[in-house]
A = this chain, B = another copy of it.
Amino acid sequence: MQSNSYQPQQSGQSEKKNRARMLISCPDRPGIVAAVSHFLYEHGANIVQSDQYTMDPEGGMFFIRFEFDLADLDKELPVLQEDFARVADRFDMKWHTFRASRKKRLAIFVSKEDHCLLELLWQWQAGDLDAEIAMVVSNHDDMRALVESFGIPYHHIPVTPDTKAEVEKKHLEIVSDKADLIVLARYMQIIPPKFIEQYPNRIINIHHSFLPAFVGGKPYAQAYKRGVKIIGATAHYVTEELDGGPIIEQDVQRVSHRDNVEDLKRIGRTIERVVLARAVKWHIEDRVLVHQNKTVVFN
């Protein structure tokens, strides 16, 4: 983890050069799979993975994710995208394409707790998180040395009740054009609506409870008081409703009457770390679709 010798491991970059991903959601209708797969085939794309889900009861929404290889992707993808507009129109599709080789740029926000940040750094270093960590932003200066030892820029932006508007402005300036995904790795501050608007379904928060139980502050103290036998953590996209956004991933761990609040925090840290890391991984691999405050996760 020393700064000078560090290089994140590169796994299979060359084979990914021509790999793309496509996410589609639209009202369900006959012929969608046929139309899209035929379109891809005609454009020389080889489908290496496809996942489909039709949500029956709520108006018949259709969701699909393709991974495909396309020779000379850099040149051919724009052509494919332009041609696809006609298919998309026909089926009233919302759709996105992504190049697997274009790493998403993360801005990680932290406060005083380092465990979620450390997990992301370690997974990134181990080559398990195929992203670029563009910056770490914090309302404290504590983790500067750690972060800079990885060669990652560190922005210390203190937050006080009086400076909230100014902080928001600074945050937006810093991340603008530099981050594709905001990760709140135990950043214990409310994110203002204007910031959320700029990153719709692109801000992931880790909440240290099994949502919707124990919304808000001090969830471990709440869990202890209620006497639950299992605790959990929840990674979700941030919306204006506090701890109310679309859930990406959750996990839990058994506890007992012997565990006091400090024990719950300690046990919880491990859950938080793995849940956040999984959610970030799935997002950067373009596996998550959002529909009506819920997620479809093709993992």
Using a CB–CB distance below 8 Å, which chain A residues touch chain B? 1-2, 5, 11, 30-35, 37-38, 40-42, 46-57, 114-115, 118, 122, 126, 128, 145-146, 149, 210-214, 226-230, 232, 246-252, 254, 256-258, 260-262, 266, 269-270, 274, 293-297
**Which residues in B have their C-beta under 8 angstroms from that of A214?**
212
The 9 nearest A-B residue pairs measured at CB: A227-B294, A34-B41, A2-B145, A30-B46, A34-B37, A213-B213, A33-B37, A229-B250, A50-B52
* Contact indicator A38/B49 (Cβ below 8 Å): no
* Contact status A52-B49, CB under 8 Å: yes
Chain B residues with CB under 8 A of A252? 230, 252
In the assembled complex, which residues on chain B have CB atoms less than 8 Å from the CB atom of A51? 51-52
- Report Cα–Cα, A34/B38, bound state, in Å: 5
Cβ contact within 8 Å between A270 and B274: yes
- Contact status of A118 and B128, CB under 8 A, knowing A212-B213, A258-B53: no
Contact A57/B2 with A50-B50, A252-B252 known, Cβ cut-off 8 Å: no
Q: Shortest distance in angstroms between A222's beta carbon and chain B's nearest beta carbon?
A: 8
Give the distance in Å from the alpha carbon of A115 to the alpha carbon of B211 in the complex: 27
Question: 20 A-B contacts, Cβ less than 8 Å apart?
Answer: A1-B145, A1-B146, A1-B149, A2-B149, A33-B37, A34-B38, A34-B42, A34-B47, A47-B52, A49-B52, A53-B258, A128-B266, A210-B230, A211-B226, A227-B247, A227-B293, A229-B248, A230-B250, A230-B251, A257-B297
Among the listed B50, B55, B115, which residue makes an inter-chain contact with A122, where contact means beta carbons less than 8 Å apart? B115
Contact partners of A37 in chain B: CB under 8 A: 33-34, 37-38
Assembly CA distance A41 to B38 (angstroms): 11
Q: Identify 16 new A-B residue pairs, CB closer than 8 A, beyond the known A33-B37, A34-B34, A49-B53.
A: A1-B145, A2-B145, A34-B42, A34-B47, A35-B41, A37-B37, A47-B52, A48-B54, A53-B258, A57-B260, A118-B122, A126-B269, A211-B228, A227-B246, A229-B297, A230-B250
Q: In the assembly, what is the distance between CA of A227 and CA of B289, in Å?
A: 13
